[in-house]
Amino acid sequence: MPSQFPKGFMWGASTAAHQVEGNNVHSDFWLMENLEGSAFRERSGDAVDHFRRYREDIALMAQLGLNSYRFSIEWARLEPEEGVYDDAAIEHYRNVLKACHENKITPIVTLHHFTSPVWLIRLGGWESAGTPARFARYCAKVMSELGELIPYACTINEANISIGIAKIIKQHQSQGAAQVGINTDMLARMETYNRELSTAFGVPPQEVHSFLGPRSEKGLEIIFRAHVEARTAIRNAAPNTKIGITMSLYDIQSLPGGEENAAEALNEEFLQFKSYMEDDDFFGLQNYTRTVYGPDGFVPIPEEAEKTQMGNEFYPQGLEAVIRCVSKHLDKPIFITENGVATDDDERRVAYIDCALRGIHACITDGIPVKGYMHWSLLDNFEWQLGFSKRFGLIAVDRTTQERLPKPSASHYGKIAATNALAE
């Protein structure tokens, strides 16, 4: 494990508001979790109570040796009704930011991490031409109130994620078509859920356009236009804040004959969006594994390969390859805003971290401007439709008591960060 990183390197971890705070009652995801026949395995509820325990969690990060924290501000809390802002919510996030600064933790704030206000979905959500202006208005409000405390802002988390979701669905359908049986009971549950969905949002179910839902080409353009308009709004309100966007990128590889398919995937998932990022201050890179393409397209993960709880191939060396790929096409400082592994074997998490950091160090040695590493995640949390069953955290949480239980990986990672800080 290389011991020396550049002075000022940012060592941190990431969370997302809905996954850790709890009781995000004005969001689209909260509504969908609580419908009859919901596609969610369980409800987020109190999550891991980070909304009340943020001071404890931030202080624990500092004790471990970390110096940065990427977290999200929840749009649905700040603007529960269109044009109506909650002063108590704004004050809450002001206190979170102050707690970071008091503990010498640099905040990296994400302004949209998957969840949206219910009212936005009722107005067409992420397929509506009005969404970029509404998002920019919210960003302007946040930054006018809190911008002096926010040195780095990510507008949108994983702006390209709908592309990957569509591919995963297609892969599962093609691989499991012969094994998947749709019975009468399942069809009835789906019909019930769709009726509930339509009633709850007040629109036909096919017009419920949440951020993680199916996306048209128009919808993809709307997401990136929202980034551009938000960037302008943030600069006007808080000119000293550095601005970027985050994208989920696989290490795209090819077997002989698969080069064209791999090139098409890279263009679809990353290169086609370069123009939207030209005026950004940095790029937020998120990587968890690789994808391999052959002459016939996507190559399934080999049966013998080590897999994570998410069903991904355990492949931490992919991070270095993606950093090098991005640096060839985008002349920006790079922050690793997410990278991690879902596992109950914490020794494998330690191995994942070490391999990822070796790759980052090699890139920095070669002159690539990687500025920080935000491990996903700080806490075991609510993993969307999969509930609390997938564990990415450096810190476990006893959800009966909400007690924080740092894992050996937290100490290991923190020691690396602290050792580098002492060497500066």
User: Which residues belong to the active site?
Assistant: 158
For the record, the structure tokens of 83 come out as 């044009």
CA distance 221 to 216: 9
**Any idea what the Cα angle at residue 58 is, between residues 56 and 62, rounded to 5°?**
110
Among candidate residues 52, 91, 75, 65, the one with its CA nearest the CA of residue 13: 65
| Cα angle: 55, vertex 394, 250; to 5 degrees | 120
In angstroms, what CA-CA distances link 217 with 84, 127, 214, 369, 381?
Answer: 31, 9, 10, 32, 32
Query: In a 3-state reduction of DSSP, which class is residue 11?
Result: strand
Helix segments in 247-403, DSSP class H = 259-269, 318-329, 346-365
What span, in angstroms and rounded, lies between the C-alpha atoms of 210 and 113? 12
Are 399 and 50 spatial neighbours (Cβ–Cβ below 8 Å)? no
Residues 318 and 308: their CA atoms lie apart, in Å, by: 14
